[in-house]
Amino acid sequence: MEKQIEIGIGDPVATARGFIDAWKRVGIGEEREASHRLHFENLEILLKTLTSTRWFLLKRLRAMGAVSIRALARDLGRDYKNVHTDVKRLQNAGLIETTETSKIEVSWDILEARLELAA
């Protein structure tokens, strides 16, 4: 089964409303498959977080499996410090996880971006 996360832009009120709606559905016994979402406050923050370099890093890390940051930096041919900074930013966003053995990995198969032009 593929693990998917939806990435988009959403204000805190809409995010809270979605959480409350989901809570109510569970309260009445409605079964639904869990969905994973990552919403940024605005497009500027999304693009600062998910740059083209970080997107390539995510794809490469997904292909490699769980590795150390040093091994990832070596594979990418990039400076360790810069890769470490990118990894920490993506971990804070919830796109990279740390394993029990202190390695990093991407557990997502699909990152689906949803950007609406009309509010």
* Ranges 16-20, 102-106, 113-117, most confident: 102-106
Domain membership of residue 119 (yes or no) is no
Average pLDDT, the chain: 84
CATH number of the domain that residue 110 is part of: 1.10.10.10
Question: Given pLDDT bands bounded at 50, 70 and 90, which one contains residue 35?
Answer: low
Is the Cβ–Cβ distance between 9 and 43 less than 8 Å? Answer: yes
Question: Phi and psi for 117 in degrees, rounded to 5?
Answer: -80, -35
CA–CA dist 28, 24 (Å, integer): 6
Domain membership of residue 10 (yes or no) is yes
The confidence score (pLDDT) of residue 22 equals 62
Is the Cβ–Cβ distance between 60 and 72 less than 8 Å? Answer: yes
Closest C-alpha among 82, 111, 93 to residue 40: 93
Quote the number of domains for the chain: 1
Question: Given pLDDT bands bounded at 50, 70 and 90, which one contains residue 1?
Answer: low
Domain that holds residue 18: 4-114
Domain membership of residue 30 (yes or no) is yes
pTM exceeds 0.85, yes or no:
no
Domain membership of residue 68 (yes or no) is yes
